[in-house]
Structure 1
């Protein structure tokens, strides 16, 4: 029984040590690319600075870039986590009915946009 407790203690210390090492090596928040977000392009599925295709909406989200709620399509909007097809449809319909959104209060007034969804939209979208 004593060997088992000792082995568990050694394993726990080993895992703790790995955690400390990995935390020290974890990537920092510095950008991986040395260019403005608008200059990021995609070549063979890899984000680069300079020449290449403009990133798709999904790729822009993966790169941490925000989409423009006043220009994003319904199909692109429904792919945002927490939005879905019906809310995307309501948001686009509201945008078409009133014109572009100028404040987050206008976005919050769309049926189905509660506090959590508004936070998700603010984290992934901007109003230009």
Structure 2
């Protein structure tokens, strides 16, 4: 019994050691680019750079942490947001079109399927009006 406990202790110490090495070698949280998110562009090969290139759109922009303009986003783009999905995205677009656009978060909250948690998610991932992150939808 003591031999088995000792073996388990050695395995546990080994796993903790591997975790410490992985944490030490893991990339830090510092940005990879030396420009603000709204200045990130994609070069001709699709690599993110600062300066010249095209503004990222759709899933690329979402992956870069850009915020979506809720008043011009497509149903497909809204469905990319965590917890939204295709049916809520469709209801958001229908409500937006019927109202001529969202001007308040209360209007967004009134859409069927948007509760307190979804509203917080939408507020974190979207803006009402032109996004400060990039031109167009993103």
- The gaps in structure 1 that reach 5 residues or longer are none
> C-alpha offsets along residues 19-66 of structure 1, whole Å, 9 cap, x if unaligned?
233334444433221112122112323211122222122111111111
Q: CA RMSD in A?
A: 1.9
Q: TM-score, normalised by structure 2?
A: 0.79
The 8 Å contact of residues 37 and 65 in structure 2, kept in 1 or not, is answered as no
Q: Within the alignment, does 1:50 sit opposite 2:43 as a pair?
A: no
Which is further off, 61-70 or 40-49? 40-49
Q: Which residue of 2 aligns with 1:2?
A: 2
Q: 64-73 vs 17-26, which deviates more? A: 17-26
Aligned length: 128
Distance 1:22 1:127 in 2: 41
Q: How does 1:31-110 map to 2 (within 5 A)?
A: 31-43=31-43, 44-110=45-111
Relative to the length of structure 1, the TM-score reads 0.85
Is 2:68–2:126's contact at 8 Å kept on the other side of the alignment? yes
- The alpha-carbon deviation at position 104 of structure 1 amounts to 1.8
Q: RCO greater where, 1 or 2, for CA within 8 Å and sep 6 or more?
A: 2
